[in-house]
Structure 1
C-alpha cells in the first residue's frame, strides 16, 4: 500500500437493519484525493447472498442511515460538498428522491426515530447570536470578544463550544410520495443547556426523549447525568439513579419493552475526576428508578470502543462492543443477567443492528478496512467485500501476533509486520496514543504503507493500554515513561531476537499523541534509534494544563497536580539529552495537544544542536492521520517516508541520494 492508495480505504458505518430483517443499509465512505474530502453513499445489502449489494444514493457524502420503525422511510445525513454541513434527509425505503428536512447553520450531528415513525429527535449546535455567521457581514475576526469563565470551553475538532452548545431538536417527518415539496419543516428546540447534550433517543412508548448532559451546577466536572424530556414540552428531569457514584455517562437507551434503562458509564471515583483507566461499564436500572446494576465487569471489560454505543435486541437485551486484547468483541446482555459472547476472534467489530430476527455486524479485520456480515447460528457470514479493490491493487501484509516478556516478567502483547524478502529489514517501533486505547488486528493503513516501503513494523499494547483489564491500564498512573517504556522496548528486543529478518542495527521509533510523548521520552533515555518521529505529542505537561482542551484535568489525573509532578515527567525538560534526529509533526488547529507543544519541543532540540525538522499542517486538528483532508494525509505519508529514507533507506524507499 502506498500513499496514493488512500482512496481505496472504504469504511462502513453502523448498519441500519430493515424491520423485516431482509436487508441492511450502510454508508460506505472513502477519502477522495481529487475532491480533497471524504465522499460516501448508501448501499443496500440483502441478507440473501444470491442478491448483490448495490449503491442506492448518489450524494456527495451520505452517512448514518436509519430505517423508520415501520420500515417505510429511510433517514440519513447528507452533505452536498466538501465544506457543506450535513443535513437530515428522508427517502422512501423502496427508493425515490430524498427530501431534506433540516436547514441547520452548523449541521446535524446525530438523530433517532420515534417508535411511531412520525418524528425524529436530532442534535445540532446552536450558535450564539452574532457568531458563526448568524450576523450578516460580520466575519469571525470581527466578532465580539469571548469572556471565558469555565475550564471546559473548547473541544478538538469543534473549537469553542460554550458559544455553540449541542442541543436537541424535534422535527415531524413529512409524508412522502406526494407532490414534490422543497420546503423544510420547522424544527422545535427542546433543550437549552449551557454545555453539550448527548444524542437523544426515544422511550419505548414515544412519550419522552432520553439524553445525557452535565448537571447545570457542575459544568466544569467530568460527571454527566441522564435526563428525561417529555416530547409534549416542559423541562428535562434528571433521572434518579439512587446511587452516590459520580459517572461519565456516554450512552442511554430504554429497552424495547419499556421496563429497563440501559446506560454505559465510567466511574469517576470519590473525587468525581478519577478518569484514569476507568473501563466503560454497561448498567441496567428499572425505568421506574432504582439502583443501577452493572452487567459487565468493571475491572476486565471496556464496552465503549470509539464510535460505539448501545443497540437493542429483543424486548430486554442490549448489544455492546468490548475492547479485548487487541480485538473488539460483540456482546449480548440481558436486563436480568443473561450474557453471551456473539462475535470474537481476530477482528474488530465496529457496530451491530438487530431487526426481524436478523443480526447484522459491521467489522474490520487484517484484510478489510470495513465490511458487513450477518450472524447465522453463531457464525459470521460475510455479505460484502468493500476492500476487494484495495487487496487487488496492493499486497496486504497480515500482522503476526506475538507476546514478549518485559524485564519484570510482564507479558507484552502485540503484532509484527514484515516485508517480503529475507531482509534484513530496518525496523519501525510504532507507539499508539491514548494511552488508554489499543492497537487492534484491524487493517491499519499506517503499518501497510511502511511495510510496502520496506520496513518491519512493530505495534504493541504496553501497560497503560485498554483491553487488558483495569490493572493494566492503571500501571502508569503517576509514572509515565517507566513500565510503558520498558514494555515497548521489550517488545522490540523480543522481536529482534525471534525474527532474523529484522535488522537490529537499523531502528526507528515513532508515535502520536501519548505515543509522541513516549517516543520523545524514550529517545531522551536511549540512543539506539537512527531517527524518530514525534507526532501531535503531549510534550510539556506544564503548559498543556492551560492550553489543551483536556489540559485542566488530564495531566493532573495521570501525573499529579503539583508543578514538580508535571515537570518531572516532561519530555521537553529532557530535550538536552536527545541525540536522535527527530521529525516533529503537528497540526495548526490541534486543541488536544496544541501546536505549542510541538513548537517548543522542536525549538529545544534545535537549541541543543540536535538534528530536527518541524512539519506543520494548516487547518488540521488532532485527527489528521485518521480523518484529515485526504491530500494532507497523503502528504503526511510522503514526508514520513522521506524522513525514513534519509536515515533508514531501503530498496523500496531509497531517498533522493540513494536513487541518484
Structure 2
C-alpha cells in the first residue's frame, strides 16, 4: 500500500502534545439506568504529575461532572450510588441524586507485587448491604530505617516516583464493611495475601485468589478460595497446578469462572502460556476449560446476567475484540470487534448494553457504547477529539511476510508525516516488550512522534507475540534472540524490498523492556543499523535472573532454576557479544526500575564505552520501568526528545 501524499504543510504529534493526551479508562455503566462513569488521567506539566479524574455522564449524555479524584470501583446494585477511591486510599460513596459523597473506610495498599493480572478491587454485595475490599495489615512495629533485613525472595517492589523501591512485609487481606457505614471486619487473617475478589449471589460468600503454597515468594502457584462472611470459614476450591486470576461468580451462584494457566514454572510477569477461562462448580468440582479451542490469550471475563454466556477480550492479529463463549456448548463468537483495540468493558444489568474503551492507530482511547449484540455503536466521550483535529497523523498499513523458516509474520509500516513518493526516507524499527506483548491497531505515541520527525516506522509481531496462537507465543521459549531476531530482520528486508522510498542506508532500532533486550541483541548481531536506542532493556540474563522483580520469568522462559541454566542464559545475553557491537547506542533507564534493574543498562553501557562505541546513558531519577503512566510528564517528554535527537544525529546523517 502506497501512503497518501500531502501537499499542505502537515503537523504530526510533537513531544509537547504528550501532555494534551487525556488517557481514558475504566468505564462503568450503571446496572439500572444509563448513568456512566469513566476515568481520565490528565498530565499537569507544571506540577509534573498526573491527575486522575472520575467523570460522571448523565443518562441523557448532556452533562458531565467531575465527581472526584482517584478511581471508580463499583456501582451499587440499584445504580443509585457509586463507590470510588481517592488517591490516598479513602473509600467514598457518591449518591447520584444528591451529588454528595460520604466517607466509608480507609484502605491501605501494600507495595508487595503479586502479578500483572492481580486485582485489588472493591465490590458491592448483590443485596446492596455490604462492601468487600482488600487492604494491607501494616504492623505497628517500627524497623531501623538504616538497616534493611531481607529474608524473602520477592523483596523488591515496582519502584517508581512516589512508590517504594522495596516491598513491605504487610499482607493484603479481605475486609467487610456495611454500605451504610460502620467498622470494617477482617475476613481472612493469617500470613497470606489475597486479591481479586467476587461476591456470590447469596451475598454471603466471597471468592478470591491466594497463593498459599509453602513458599509463596518463590513458588508462583495460586488457587481459588472462598470465605463465608458469617462463619469466616475459608475453603480451597481448586487444586490447580499453575496460576489462577480474576474469579467471577455466576449470576445464580452455581459456578465460578476464572482465568488460568497450567505451566509448572509460574511467573509474576508475562507468561508465554495464554490465559484461558476455567470453570468450576461452586463447591470446587467439575473443573474444565472453556476456551482452549479458541487458541488466543483471554482477558477481562464478565458473565452475561442470564448465566448462559461469558464475555471476554482477546487479541487476534493485532486487533483486540470482545467475544462470548456459550457455557454449555463452548461455542465462541465475536460480539464487538473490527480494526482497533478494546481494553475493557462493562455490561448493564440486562446484558443488552455494554460500554468499552477502544483506541485505534490514529485515535487515543475513548468510551463507546454498544447495544443489540454489537450492531449499534455510539462514541460516548470526545476527550481528545478537538486537539486531535489539528493534527495530521499517518495511518499504518499492515502486511505479512515469510520468515527464514517460512513462518507467516505480521507487521505494520507507518510513513512519515508529509510523505512524498519522490523522496527517500529513513526507517526506524520499533520492538515491543513482553516478550509476549502484541503490537496492533492501537494508538502508540512513539510511532507518531517518529513519523512527525521524518521517519518511516516499522513494527512487527515476531514469534513470541500473543494473538497468533499458543505455538506462536511459545516461539521465544529457550530461545530469546533466536527466531524472533530472524523474524525482525526478515521484516526489515521485506519492507526495504517492497517500498522503494525507504533508505536502506538510514536505519535505526529501538524498543522498551524486552524490546530493549532485542535492541541490545541486534547491535551485537549486525551492524546494519546506524543508531539504536535502548529503553529499559535487559543486557545480561544471568544477573537479571538474580536482581529483577521478575526473576521467575527466567524460570518460566528457560524451563528451570537460573542456577541450572546459567550457560543457556549467558548464551542469549547481549552482553556476551558486546565486543561485536559498533552501533551508536543511547541507553534510557529509570533509577528505581526493579523490573529491569538499572544495572542492566550500566553493564551494556560500560562494555560499549570501553571499546569506543558512541554511547550515552541517561538515568531518570526516581522513575521506574518504561512507558507506563507513572513516568512523569517531564521525564516522558525528555525521553522522547532524546530518542529523536539520537536518531537525527546518527541515522539521518548516515551516508545514503
Using structure 2 for the length normalisation, give the TM-score.
0.89
**How far did residue 159 of structure 1 move?**
4.1
CA–CA distance in structure 1, aligned partners of residues 547 and 640 of structure 2: 28
Task: Name whichever of 459-468 and 417-426 sits farther off.
Answer: 417-426
Instruction: Quote how far apart the aligned CAs of 1:99 are.
Output: 2.1
Q: Which residue of 1 aligns with 2:435?
A: 435
Indicate the residue corresponding to 1:543 in structure 2: 543
**Structural mapping, 1:612-631, within 5 Å:** 612-631=615-634
Conserved? CA contact 2:196–2:245, under 8 Å: no
The 8 Å contact of residues 281 and 298 in structure 1, kept in 2 or not, is answered as no
Structure 1 residues 475 and 162, CA, compared in 2 at 3 Å: closer, same or farther? same
From 242, 247, 262, the counterpart of 2:242? 247
Residue 236 of structure 1 is matched in structure 2 by 234
Q: Alpha-carbon deviations, 1:104-149, whole Å to 9, x = none?
A: 454895211111222211123333333xxxx5xx8x834x53231x
1:625 is displaced (CA, Å) by 4.8
Alignment deviations for residues 305-331 of structure 1 (CA, whole Å, 9 cap, x no partner): xxx454544334322111211111111
Question: Could you tell me which residue of structure 2 aligns to residue 77 of structure 1?
Answer: 85
User: 1:52 & 1:100 partners in 2: Cα distance?
Assistant: 28
CA distance in 2: counterparts of 1:526 and 1:110, whole angstroms: 47
1:124-523 equivalence runs, <5 A = 124-130=135-141, 141-142=145-146, 145-148=148-151, 150-157=152-159, 159-161=165-167, 163-174=169-180, 185-219=182-216, 220-239=218-237, 241=238, 245-269=240-264, 276-297=271-292, 300-304=295-299, 308-310=300-302, 312-337=304-329, 338-355=331-348, 356=350, 357-377=352-372, 378-379=374-375, 380-419=377-416, 420-422=418-420, 423-523=423-523
Residue by residue over 1:144-179, the C-alpha shift from the partner in whole angstroms, topping out at 9 and shown as x without a partner, is 53231x32333324644351232222222237xxxx
Q: Does the 8 A contact of 2:535 with 2:626 survive in 1?
A: no
Counterpart selection for 2:56 from 44, 55, 62:
44
Check 1:526–1:299 CA distance in 2 against 1; reply closer, same or farther (3 A cut).
Answer: farther
Distance in 2 separating the partners of 1:471 and 1:299: 13
Q: Could you list the per-position Cα deviations for residues 597-644 of structure 1 after superposition, in whole angstroms to 9, with x for gaps in the alignment? A: 111111111111111100111111114454311111111112112212
- Distance of 2:341 and 2:442 partners within structure 1: 6
Q: Could you list the per-position Cα deviations for residues 432-477 of structure 1 after superposition, in whole angstroms to 9, with x for gaps in the alignment?
A: 0100111121111111111111111111100011111111111221
Q: CA deviation at 1:227?
A: 0.9
Structure 1 residues 478 and 468: alpha-carbon distance in aligned structure 2, compared to 1, 3 A threshold: same
Question: Is the 8 Å Cα contact of residues 341 and 441 (structure 2) preserved in structure 1?
Answer: yes
In structure 2, what is the equivalent of residue 82 of structure 1? Answer: none
Q: Which runs of 5+ in 2 are unaligned?
A: 1-12, 111-118
Q: Which moved more, 1:17-26 or 1:527-536?
A: 17-26
Q: Distance in 1 between matches of 2:607 and 2:231?
A: 58
| Offset, 1:272 | 6.1
CA distance in 2, matches of 1:623, 1:301: 26
Equivalenced residue count is 617
Structure 2 contact 91–107 (Cα < 8 Å) conserved = no
Superposition deviation, residue 282 in structure 1: 0.6
The match for 1:120 is: 131
CA distance in 2: counterparts of 1:534 and 1:559, whole angstroms: 27
Task: Flag the 1:169–1:430 CA change in 2: closer, same or farther, 3 A.
Answer: same
- Secondary structure of residue in 2 paired with 1:620: coil
8 A Cα contact 1:313 1:319, kept in partner:
no
Q: Is the 8 A contact 1:365 1:441 kept in 2?
A: yes
In the TM superposition, what whole-angstrom CA distance separates every residue of 1:65-96 from its partner, at most 9, and x where no partner exists?
421002221111222xxxxx232111102342
**8 Å CA contact retained: 2:302, 2:312:** yes
Is contact 2:266-2:556 (8 Å) kept? Answer: no
1:608: which partner in 2? 611
Looking at structure 2, the residues matched to 573 and 547 of structure 1 have their Cα atoms a distance apart, in angstroms, of: 18
Which deviates further from its counterpart, 587-596 or 558-567? 558-567
- For the Cα contact (< 8 Å) 2:399–2:412, is it kept in 1? yes
8 A Cα contact 1:559 1:569, kept in partner: no
Measured on the aligned residues, the alpha-carbon RMSD in Å equals 2.4
Q: What is the match of residue 643 of structure 2?
A: 640
DSSP-derived class of the 2:86 partner: strand
The structural deviation recorded for 1:247 is 1.9
Rounded Cα–Cα distance in structure 2 between residues aligned with 1:273 and 1:630:
31
Paired with 1:595 and 1:440, the residues of 2 have a C-alpha distance of 29
The 2-side partners of 1:509 and 1:319 are apart by 38
Structure 1 residues 483 and 147: alpha-carbon distance in aligned structure 2, compared to 1, 3 A threshold:
closer
Given that 2:278 and 2:289 are in contact with CA atoms closer than 8 Å, whether structure 1 keeps it comes out as yes
Aligned residue in 1 for 2:76: 68
What is the CA-CA distance between 1:44 and the residue it aligns to? 3.2
2:272 and 2:557 in contact (8 A); partners too: no
Worse-matched range after superposition: 631-640 or 363-372: 363-372
State how far apart, in whole Å, the 1-side matches of 2:515 and 2:267 are. 23
- Checking the alignment, whether the CA contact within 8 Å between 2:344 and 2:356 is kept in structure 1 is yes
Deviation by residue 1:217-254 (Cα, 9 ceiling, x = unmatched): 24121110111011125242211x3x6x4020111011
Give the match for residue 42 of structure 2. 30
Aligned to 2:532: 532
**2:34, 2:16 → 1: CA distance?**
37
In the alignment, structure 1 segments of 5+ residues that lack a partner are 80-84, 176-184, 655-660
Distance change (3 Å), C-alpha of 1:194 and 1:460? farther
Deviation at 1:581, TM superposition (A): 0.5
CA contact (8 A) 2:37 2:72 kept: no
Please list the CA deviations of residues 363-385 of structure 1 after superposition, one character each: whole Å capped at 9, or x if unmatched. 12223222122223333322222
Query: Does the C-alpha gap of structure 1 residues 471 and 47 become closer, same or farther in structure 2, counting only changes over 3 Å?
Result: farther
Match of 2:113 in 1: none
